[in-house]
Structure 1
Amino acid sequence: MWCLRLQFQFQCGRGQHLPPRIKTCRAPLYSACKAGGEGDRTQSFSLSVCDSRVRVTGVSSPALGSTGLNWTQTGLEQSSGLKMKMFYISTLLLISFATLDARPQTSGLVQKCKSGPMDLVFIIDSSRSVRPFEFETMRKFMIDIINPLEVGLSNTRVGVVQYSSQVQNVFSLKTFSNKSDMEKAINEIIPLAQGTMTGLAIQYAMNVAFTEEEGARPLSKNIPRVAIIVTDGRPQDRVTEVAAQARDTGIEIYAVGVQRADVSSLRTMASHPLDDHVFHVESFDLIQHLSIQFQDKLSCVDMCTEMDHGCQHKCVNIPSSYYCECNEGYKLNADGKTCSLIDLCAQGNHGCEQICVSSPGSYSCACRAGYQLNEDKKTCSLIDLCSQGDHGCEQICVSSPGSYSCACRAGYQLNEDKKTCSMIDYCSYGNHSCQHECVSILNGYYCRCNEGYTLQADGKTCLADDMCNVVDHGCEFKCVSTPGSYYCICPEGQELQADGKTCNKCSTGYVDLVLVIDGSKSVRPQNFELVKEFVINIVDSLAISAQGTHIGLVQYSSRVRTEFSLDQYKNAQDIKTAVKNVQYMEKGTMTGLALKHMVEQSFSEAEGARKNVPKIGLVFTDGRSQDDISEWAKKAKEAGITMYAVGVGKAVEDELNEIASEPVNKHSFYTADFSTMNLIAEDLKLNICPEEIKGTTETKNPCDCEHLVSFQTSTITKLESLSEQLAQLNARLDDLENELVSKK
């Protein structure tokens, strides 16, 4: 058997007497105060706890005598001589009696009652650290709090949310309207038994549980929104910001921690004052006793309606008591009930030079009409409303006795606010006839063309400066604009076709081209796809046919593989399909072995090489070769093969130059990144074409008649545009001159 004895004092005072219908665990204590009569005094008590049984005995109380007050029928004298042991007083016991003195204090915040309906949501921790029998105490904790509440759609609404690593809505505020259904649903909760994502649960309560869709009443109805969070551990996510957001939306948060709960996290989550919203107990066995306090906070009796409080202005209900307050601008008299107006102006020390204006709890100085308050906020000075500068007129302020009006300069009109001005919009009249854009100016307007167009001599219509930018020209290579028209041109070495848009390819000659591409692991799969696109780009530039250009493809890494030979495909579409289907080899970089394969096999008659047809080899690599390239690079050139080398990334310049034919600057190409390979494609395409098909671009004589006419037309157009702009500037100068003259 264990026993604990605690002696304490309870302060009796005005407003402490409870109506007979209040039946809380503190009723015997208040009864002792009532028996002692009116007035402020101290009542002493003795608290005894033995084997979970509690006895409270009044000391020196004429109303109680030696009998005392008992919650149980068992006293301390049944210990049978066993030695009494003193135990550490738990946080629960101190909290339970800390609120016995319900009188408001002169310092700090007073926790008021939640009388009337509210929207209450329990947010309970069902993580794996909460054992089954501990979860049962949480069920009872919720049920004990709900029991004394008046629940219903027009009264208090209750919802329950459980959380772990995820959040589960047990029932919403709109789900049940009676306690029995709520109790049944609470008893059927299956714990989630995972992590402790408290921040996620608060986010859910704010965004879902307390929404009107889930049964919360609109904020305009001023129904309190209350959340009770119960947790036994440290949150595994952030709670500071989301808890602050929840409180800012009007949710009052109570934080209850059990056992290992982090007190600093509880204080971060809870509403203020923290002493009234943060609770921590040492075990789940003790949590059910907290329900008494929550009953007091959430469903306390409205003492202001139960008793004849006598407050002249306001009665403020607090747990088990009340106190009086006055409206703003009034002070509470010595009787603690009546109020008197505070007239600071009447006290005569306000310092206002002209007028003192009283307001509840304060005053301000004012001036008579035609005067303004100085910076000292007490003295006044005579003012000219316009010269004061606060008239708000955008352009002109016109003073009048005791008032003013706003006006605008010529070419402007007063807006509806009677203060600001806007330029008269002549374009809005709709008769300007501008082709593109009408621009209003002071006392007139002018036409303006969109970017890329030039205003014509009529001052209204527009002509494009660069026709290539405003039409779908369809030029394959480049579009050249002329006044009111355009034409297409081709790169050097290619001729414009009969359609006037496309350019010829290597169609007047043909070659046997073998592409040798690096498939080593340093290339990587995504870049190998870019290499294949590069090959397809080269294929598109050549005229491939049975009698035209033939293409073969070789891939190498630690070994060499012929993907297709020179005589395998006779059209570009089949070649491009085969290129797309090539599989990446990975492994090493044996460039020398690949050159040997190209010379001995790829350009052999067995694989389709033709006699007296130019042979071109194009080697693509992204790094240093792991074998010697000198021997077979030399043999390739001796065999009459024109060699091109393309390097990317870490390719070695010396090796590229050794592979390439002379002159090296026309046969060796390098780019730092796979994504920019196509930037060198155009130069490479032209170099691959046989020399005999490279033509020259015709140079036209600029002194020909048609060119002189075109130049003359363009020059006249620009001169007319400049003349129009000059006329507009002269008109604006005239307007400014007239305005200056009128002001004189």
Structure 2
Amino acid sequence: HPTPCTVERFLCFLGEFPALDTMFPPCSGIIDNAGGKILVQKVAGHSGYRGSFSNGVRSLSLPRWRESFLVAGTDRLLEEDVSRLLILARRKAVRKEQKLLLCLCVLISDCKVDLSFLIDGSWSIGKRRFQIQKRFLSNVADALDVGSAGPLMGIVQYGNDPSTEFNLKTYTNSKDIRNAIEKIPQKGGLSNVGRALSFVNKNFFSDANGNRGGAPNVAIVMVDGWPTDKVEEASRLARESGINIFFVTIEEAAESEKQNVIEPDFVDKAVCRTNGFYSLSVPSWFSLHKAVQPLVKRVCDTDRLACSKTCLNSADLGFVIDGSSSVGTGNFRTVLQFVANVSKEFEISDTDTRVGAVQYTYEQRLEFAFDRYNSKQDVLSAIKRISYWSGGTSTGAAISYALEQLFSKSKPNKRKIMILITDGRSYDDVRVPAMAAHQSGVIAYSIGIAWAAHDELEAIATDPDKEHSFFVDEFDHLYQFVNQLIQNICTEFNSQPRN
């Protein structure tokens, strides 16, 4: 029986009590009987629950019941979902045996993702397995409970060349999607997965096709055996556009077939993380139905979708730091702490935000480039190791140097953000270099301290100046701008088109 909370779907199971070793087939089609062992913990009952009717199941009014049950899985995946699974049960005599009627409350209303399925239409899959693949897609659509407020789903079929069967805005309920899937004919051809990923990256997740912007973009690639082209480069560009790539591989290459695989370890080269979360290996097409439940759980676990594009994981962030004599050793350490505090707020890795730093006086020095460090801890350690230089103040030359040494090597689809920190007026012109930075797509923030010139700070900053330039009278007050700076970066990001 569902709990008195907002629940869109729930399931019922019959199981032996107390030994619940196997999930029996559900009375609704969200989770099948592929689940493993479960642990059931008895908790106190409640009173005053009114009956309800949902998904063809009518529950009884329960003025009082004595016992309820909390279910948890014995494997890690189910344990992580304990907070979503609340089972209430009553003992009931069935054929003189004590059995337990379990109703599973599935909180899927927060599963808001924009989902593209890349289905294998190559001749190698055959007609029978192509039908199995379509049945799998229908089951996933049912499990997701597709709707405008929850997950949306589209399908791209690939062979020699990919084509869209329907996009995100074509259908807004599972029934219509099932009917559309049934009508999809097989394309034939090779298994050009890389070409399909490039197609999805360039064409699928657009506003015109129903992309919602605030929902994570997910691409699930179905592969029979192995791709007939390379996937690494196409996958990298897709990830850097914020697309979370999942691979479902069925019947992988046997030892005698591995010489035919163009790109060994193609799954690890394609997915966002190689920890197994983004890949499912299915030994046989006839066991594909068992992948429905784990795949849906992962797709809906939006907290773990590492490649979702946000203001904190989609930038190349370059700091341009004044190391002139007027700063002084103590204040320079304060500036570095500010740089570290800002960097901490970002999600740093080779596919998320990357950080680089330049220090300048009359001259310039590249402290570290964007591709030098791939973890937050390494970046913070590198910032701490920067040594104070001392000298004059040529801010214009520093901006030009940063454009050449940092931002010219920025990745495609990354926002280029420059944060320049200075405590005085520049000995050279800042306007021309700043204009060159703006024209090359760099978003420039200027932070002035003490004797910094307001007119130069405004010239350096991207328009509007008030949102991209800051001034503080003392170094010790720099920390006050960390939250405001991050907020402005995110506000600007959220106001722009997602792709």
Task: Decide: shared fold, TM above 0.5.
Answer: no
User: Which structure has the greater CA radius of gyration?
Assistant: 1
What TM-score do the two structures reach when normalised by structure 1? 0.28
Quick check: which one's helix share is greater? 2
What TM-score do the two structures reach when normalised by structure 2? 0.42
